[in-house]
Amino acid sequence: MRRNRRWAALGASLFLFLTACAGKAPQDTLQPKGDVARRIDNLINPVFIVAGLVFLLVQGLIVVAVVKFRAKPDSPEPEQIHGNTRLEVGWTLLPALILLAVAVPTIKTIFDLAKKPANPINVTVIGHQFWWEYRYTDLGIVTANELRMPAGRPVELTLNSVDVIHSYWIPPLGGKTDVVPGRNNSMHLEADKPGEYLGQCTEFCGASHANMRAKAIAMTPADFDTWVAGQRAAAIAPVEGSPAGEGMATFLARGCAGCHTIQGVSKGLVGPNLTHFADRTTFAGSIFERNDANLRKWLTNPQAAKPGNAMIIPGGPLTPDEITKLIGYLNSLQ
Ligand code: CUA
């Protein structure tokens, strides 16, 4: 009975251990996809090996001591000793040397990564409950949730928040940095190859903390330049009377313009900039793929779709007809 329980406990812990395994984990920090993440990863491996050996040695000695020197019936009182200078100096010096060996490359990497890279794309990242705003300060672009970047070129991020503390992390591309109101933190990222890299907010920031994802999309330099040119252009004005045109009228009539900026149409100050909304693959903190069904779900009841978010529809819920028109307009914002 007791034995069964022991086996059950062992099985359960092994099972828990296995939950750490995943064949296809997009947010795996141990599979770096860029220079910054690779430098951090290069620190993990040697430290893990040394720490693993120390762990095995210490645990092994404990097991030997427990088994070999346990108190047995009638065993005499063991010899009482006090102090052993040679041993004590040894177990003080050896760990100090190991820590020194770990500290030198770690501190060097911290200082290297703190340096601003040459020829970066400068982006200010602003945390909001619960989405990310990106301002490309040199390029005059404002977008949300998806960080577009050219592959092979560093992106220098300046991070701050308009509300509470968030934390920005795209594990395959770089380290994690807190996003603090009233303070500018900085970090840089780089991707080797074009592709999509997932991340998320990693500081508890409210009811939808788990719904505050991040996505970096690395592109070839030529594709990135094309994207930049498209983003800098004004929003496409819809034809009056077309479905998109009716959507724009709804956007203005229902007060969406109070929060959302659409260049040339509105100057909102709170919500995501929607000028080129249809260029994005996701929305609402990158938790929804951008398609009509998800947009309808979102516009019908944003609070149900994402608890605690700041979106308010002035004057109460939108009608299904208004939602259809708005979706038409949003899809036209290439
Ligand atoms: Cu933002 Cu958690």
Which value, in Å, is the radius of gyration of the alpha carbons in the chain?
A: 27
User: What distance in angstroms lies between residue 187's CA and the mean position of ligand 1's atoms?
Assistant: 18
- Cα separation, 38 vs 67, in Å, equals 43
Whether 188 contacts 154, CB under 8 Å: yes
Residue nearest to atom 1 of ligand 1 (CA): 166
Confidence of residue 1 (pLDDT cuts 50, 70, 90): low
CA of residue 241 to ligand 1 center, whole Å: 41
- Residues in contact with ligand 1 by the CB-under-6-Å rule are 127, 130, 166, 201, 203-205, 209, 212
Identify the burial level of 303 via C-beta atoms within 10 angstroms of its C-beta, where 0-12 means exposed, 13-18 middle and 19 or more buried. Answer: middle
Torsion of CA 318, 322, 325, 327, to 10 degrees: 20
CA terminus-to-terminus distance, the chain? 67
User: How distant is the alpha carbon of residue 230 from its chain centre?
Assistant: 26
| 284 neighbors 306 (Cβ within 8 angstroms) | yes
Quote the CA–CA distance of 168 and 187 in Å, as a whole number: 10
The tens digit of pLDDT for each residue in 284-331 reads 999 999 999 999 999 999 999 999 888 888 888 999 989 999 999 999
* Separation of CA 212 and ligand 1 centre (Å): 6
| pLDDT tens per residue across span 112-149 | 999 999 999 999 999 999 999 999 999 999 999 999 99
Ligand 1 atom, smallest distance to 179 CA = 1
Taking the model in full, what pTM does it have? 0.85
